[in-house]
Amino acid sequence: MFDLNVPIASSFLGLNNAKKSNKGKQPVVGNALQYTGPQIAVIEARVDLLIHLGYTAIAFNQTVNKKVDPKTHVNILDILLKQLKPRKEIVYMKRLTIILDEDSEKGFGLINAQTSLFNSYDLISLVPTNQATLALACLTHSLPSPLTAHIISIPLTLPRLPFNLKHTLVRTAIKNGAVFEINYVGAVGGDNDTTMTDANAAENGASAKRNWWGAARELTRVTKGKGLIVSSGAVADLDFRAPDDVKNLITLLGVSQDISHCSVTKSPKSLVLRAQTRKTYRAVLSEPQLVVPDQQMEEAPESIPPAPMVTEDTANSKKRPRDEPSMASETDGSKRKKKKRGKEGGQR
């Protein structure tokens, strides 16, 4: 069972927003940052509880407001994972969430130059807060690349959903492989991650629950249940719920039982797998093998292009492999057909 949003506050390590006094001074050296004993104990207790409830794959989440500043950004989760004790059969993952608002429309650090910074995270997600950033997140950032943000987390506890969930945007995002996330902490009435509330992306309080039900229902209506994952987002230990209970909660939003089962099991699993494609070229996971057709065709071996070129062809995976121009003129129809089949057979 997957819980893909266990927030870890940046304030744990004493790293605060750029507003604070650190700006002028030297950036803190990464090695010096460590979680203290009691902090680790708290996190270990939370993981114990999650395991007791039945979760086996946990993604720790670091939230950043507005944009990622390469100079001051520290991957707190790397430091955390080194200090947590390894558990059998439990998978830990690292996730980065970026809250987008009007200021981030111009750019928020998810650019090619900083790919190395983002490679240390297994999952990237975006929290759009207005129509423009939603469009950005759905269209530009869901395309396969080393910087795809696979998770789009809609803020569900805001008083009025700040944007219309346009059907076309949502459909495109899901077709590209992105996924929309529902955090159930809003329904249970727990507190959200402080970075989110500070950035006005979440609310705690009596009306938060009501907003959650409305917004979540709207989200399930637009996505029709496909491309949905559910995760906790809970900060307090007692706000977590067992995966079956969460499944039941999603059913109450009007989603049918099997789709809600998918959103708790299959969707997060395929999402995690898909997120691994960030480290590959253009979302190709397996390595294609060139199958040389048998030796009846003497000309064929010479005109078959060498292996690297074949790989590049398949890497533009959505397109069919084009015939090499050199082959086209030389051979006759039947041989070309055989070669084509041989090529395609190899790329399967």
Binding region for another protein (CB under 8 A): 48-49, 52-53, 187-189, 237-238, 240-242, 244-246, 248-249, 251-252
- Smaller CB separation from another protein, 185 or 283: 185
- Smaller CB separation from another protein, 209 or 269: 209
Sign of CA dihedral 14, 18, 23, 29: positive
- The CB-of-197 to another protein minimum distance in angstroms stands at 19
- The CB-of-237 to another protein minimum distance in angstroms stands at 7
- The CB-of-252 to another protein minimum distance in angstroms stands at 5
- The CB-of-184 to another protein minimum distance in angstroms stands at 9
- Smaller CB separation from another protein, 103 or 244: 244
- Smaller CB separation from another protein, 129 or 220: 220
- The CB-of-310 to another protein minimum distance in angstroms stands at 53
- Smaller CB separation from another protein, 254 or 345: 254
- Smaller CB separation from another protein, 51 or 79: 51
- The CB-of-185 to another protein minimum distance in angstroms stands at 12
- The CB-of-172 to another protein minimum distance in angstroms stands at 33
- Smaller CB separation from another protein, 18 or 49: 49
